[in-house]
Amino acid sequence: MRRRYFGTDGIRGRVGEEPISPETILKLGWAAGRVLLGSERGCVLIGKDTRVSGYLLESALEAGLAAAGADIRLIGPIPTPGIAYLTRTTRAQAGIVISASHNPYEDNGIKFFSSQGTKLADDIELAIEDMMARPLRAVESSGLGKVRRFPDAAGRYIEFCKSAFPYRLDLDGLRIVVDCAHGATYQTAPPVFGELGADVIPIGVAPDGFNINRACGSTCPGTVRDAVLQHGADLGVALDGDGDRVIMVDHRGEIVDGDRILFIIASHQQRMGQTVPGVVGTLMSNVGLEQALKRLAIPFRRAAVGDRYVLTVLNETGWQLGGEASGHVICLDKSTTGDGTIAALQVLWAMRESGSSLADLASGVEVYPQTIINVSLRGGGLAAGDVIRSALVQTALHDVELTLRERGRVVLRASGTEPVVRVMVEAMDPATVGELSRHLAEAVERAAATAVA
């Protein structure tokens, strides 16, 4: 399906450029209100992360929704999964998050949740795009939407997260560094772990509108690693700007990514006597995860990259656990969407129940050496898909595949959230991984440069 606005995770881009312009976001709010509410009066929740552009986009969305006759509840900064939870539990017609997740502050985006707290289906997103092509006509003045603040949203979400950790256990005696990436979790994640008994060392909790994800959070785990070693902590938890990703660090400073987090949760559930029918990963999931799950007789399936595609396979199979190496972890028995805080709590549950360290639990996965190179196409003349399909890149890809044969994997894909081509090579030999990934990335760069010239 050809889309004009929606990508794999809502609508995202550079603020001030299409589609993240005040005019387009105003129209988006109106179109979403028309499609999601129809002719009925209903309520839509709006939350956001800490980007300075959130004020602008919030106002534009608010005006568009009100013009469509929707009542609005403004929540302010709150993690993306918090909006999913509140939308479902308050019986709102829809939830909207203003966030560009792990991207820098110059970017922003819009994510939607249905009344059930799930990502919108493809046909609903396409209906919103079709509505955006129509003239904007406000309802009669008597039917315009009203706006109110939502009371104690953060407190409600904190209690929800704590409920995902068993009441009979606590985190007493654990020292945990929590990196909130100067993002939406800065008011929620430290209290969650602290109220469960942990000695919390919070970092990345001073947002100024511009420092979200800057040298911190799940995309820069070296920051939390350094803090863990400096403070002699038992582990570190690094969240991204909107709180739906998590990367962890053990007491030695070793990074525990989404693949290992999935393994720890699945193996813990199995030890507890729960049935684990299968785990969903993505094309980028390390083959070491697949092999570790196979040793436990737990089936594994790969989805396309993006948490919405992981969720699609989970729904198709009826399985409960899936995610990405980047830290999107979906525990459907706890939440309707990926939640970094809840995923971290499941790992802590496994630690408390087993008496093992994070390092011990993560050692069950032997990670194959893997290199991911992000080739930026900002300012380029070709879209990412066209660059990948170019003869230059396809020839280089064929050469890499011939070299690897059955001894590794290569994935070349367009990012669904930014103008980037991601080059991933995985094999047992680190030197081969580095050489082949650079070769393929250089071909992508040349193809993009040729298009500009």
* Candidate from 84-93, 109-118, 430-439 with smallest mean pLDDT: 430-439
Residue 3 falls within a domain, yes or no? no
The residues that bridge with 237 in the sheet, in sequence order, are 178, 248
Query: What confidence score (pLDDT) does residue 168 get?
Result: 96
Of 164 and 407, the structure prediction assigns the larger pLDDT to: 164
Whether 138 and 199 share a structural domain: no
* Candidate from 69-73, 117-121, 277-281, 316-320 with smallest mean pLDDT: 117-121
Domain boundary among 256, 283, 317: 256
Domain boundary among 256, 276, 298: 256
pLDDT in tens, 6-18: 988 899 999 999 9
Residue 15 falls within a domain, yes or no? yes
Query: What confidence score (pLDDT) does residue 235 get?
Result: 98
Residue 317 falls within a domain, yes or no? yes
Whether 227 and 265 share a structural domain: no
Residue 186 falls within a domain, yes or no? yes
Residue 197 falls within a domain, yes or no? yes
Instruction: Look at residue 321 and give its three-state secondary structure.
Output: strand
Which domain range does residue 303 map to? 257-341+355-367
Please provide residue 329's backbone torsions phi and psi, each rounded to the nearest 5 degrees: -125, 125
Task: Return the CATH number at 299.
Answer: 3.40.120.10
Whether 324 and 387 share a structural domain: no
Of 172 and 411, the structure prediction assigns the larger pLDDT to: 172
Query: What confidence score (pLDDT) does residue 380 get?
Result: 63
Residue 349 falls within a domain, yes or no? no
Whether 32 and 129 share a structural domain: yes
**Mean pLDDT, rounded, for 267-273:** 97
Query: Distance between CA 399 and CA 403 in Å, rounded?
Result: 6
pLDDT in tens, 371-416: 889 998 876 667 888 899 999 999 999 999 999 887 788 989 888 7
Cα-based angle 324, 332, 299 (whole degrees, multiple of 5): 60
Whether 272 and 384 share a structural domain: no
Residue 230 falls within a domain, yes or no? yes
Query: Distance between CA 106 and CA 55 in Å, rounded?
Result: 13
| Statement: residue 356 has pLDDT above 70 | yes
Query: What confidence score (pLDDT) does residue 39 get?
Result: 75
Whether 84 and 144 share a structural domain: yes
Whether 185 and 290 share a structural domain: no
**Mean pLDDT, rounded, for 99-119:** 96
| Statement: residue 298 has pLDDT above 90 | yes
Catalytic residue (one of 53, 101, 267, 390)? 101
101 as an active site residue: the answer is yes
Whether 360 and 377 share a structural domain: no
441-to-394, 430, 447 alpha-carbon distances in Å: 12, 16, 10
Mean pLDDT across the chain, nearest whole number? 94
Task: Return the CATH number at 428.
Answer: 3.30.310.50
Domain boundary among 151, 180, 211: 151
pLDDT in tens, 221-230: 999 999 999 9
Structure tokens at 16: 């001030």
Whether 102 and 62 share a structural domain: yes
- Single pTM value for the model: 0.89
157-to-61, 84, 119 alpha-carbon distances in Å: 23, 10, 18
Query: What confidence score (pLDDT) does residue 407 get?
Result: 78
Query: Distance between CA 328 and CA 313 in Å, rounded?
Result: 15
Query: What confidence score (pLDDT) does residue 190 get?
Result: 98
Of 452 and 281, the structure prediction assigns the larger pLDDT to: 281
Query: What confidence score (pLDDT) does residue 97 get?
Result: 98
Of 68 and 41, the structure prediction assigns the larger pLDDT to: 68
**Mean pLDDT, rounded, for 256-273:** 98
Whether 227 and 318 share a structural domain: no
Which amino acid type is present at position 91? Answer: R
Domain tally for the chain? 4
Query: What confidence score (pLDDT) does residue 418 get?
Result: 79
Residue 160 falls within a domain, yes or no? no
| Statement: residue 241 has pLDDT above 60 | yes
Whether 334 and 438 share a structural domain: no
Query: What confidence score (pLDDT) does residue 416 get?
Result: 73
DSSP E strands, 216-343: 235-239, 246-250, 255-256, 279-282, 300-303, 321-323, 329-331
* Candidate from 93-97, 203-207, 292-296, 378-382 with smallest mean pLDDT: 378-382
**Mean pLDDT, rounded, for 226-244:** 98
Write the CB contacts of 416 (distance below 8 Å, at least 6 apart in sequence).
Answer: 7, 8, 9, 305, 306
pLDDT in tens, 300-354: 999 998 888 999 999 999 999 999 999 999 999 999 999 999 999 999 999 999 9
Query: Distance between CA 264 and CA 7 in Å, rounded?
Result: 30
Whether 127 and 76 share a structural domain: yes
Say what percent of the chain tops pLDDT 90. 84
